[in-house]
Amino acid sequence: MPGTKIRIRRELLEYLMELAREFYPNEFAGFLRERDGVFEEVLIAPAGHFGRTSAFFNTWMLPLDESIKGTVHSHPDNVLIPSPADRWFFSKFGGFHLILGYPFGLGDFAAYDSDGNPVEVEIVP
């Protein structure tokens, strides 16, 4: 998808970084809701296990919600490249995926499509 870009509210990105700092040194994971082409909300993975090297959760516990268009998870080691497990998950869930890296500042993230290709991010007010 050349030229693909996602849009995310600055307030949401700031909140996601705050969550990543709170979960540190463990990973956290969530699902991103999109409204009018902009990611605006996060749902934290229900009944999740958030460890130092992975996060596990049951997607069957998610609400049937067509506004969920992406995922987010943190990498406490600041490696912003998706792991093989990340790429597998991206391909199964679809949409767009954010990886947040330590120290979880506003520039410490990368975004990918469902094939694991990098995508541009526009932060909107």
What confidence score (pLDDT) does residue 97 get?
Answer: 95
- Residue 117's pLDDT is what? 95
- CB burial of 93-124 (b: ≥16 within 10 Å; e: otherwise) equals bebbbbbbbbebeeebbbbbbbebeebebeee
* Residue 55 lies inside a defined structural domain of this protein: no
State how many domains the chain has: 1
The per-residue pLDDT for 111 is: 97
What is residue 7's predicted lDDT score, i.e. its pLDDT? 97
54 inside domain: no
**60 lies in a domain?**
no
Question: Do the domain assignments include residue 90?
Answer: yes
**This model's pTM is above 0.85:** yes
Q: How far apart, in whole angstroms, are the C-alpha atoms of residue 66 and residue 108?
A: 28
CATH code for the domain of 120: 3.40.140.10
Domain span at residue 33 reads 5-44+67-76+84-124
Q: Do the domain assignments include residue 94?
A: yes
Q: Taking a C-beta distance cutoff of 8 angstroms, is the pair 86, 100 a contact?
A: no
- Maximum distance among all Cα pairs of the chain, rounded to whole angstroms: 36
Residue 50 lies in a domain: no
Q: What is the mean pLDDT of each run of 10 residues along the chain (125 residues)?
A: 82 97 91 95 74 61 78 92 90 87 96 95 97
The answer to whether position 30 is within a domain reads yes
- Phi/psi for 104 (5° steps) reads 65, 50
Would you state the pLDDT for residue 44?
80
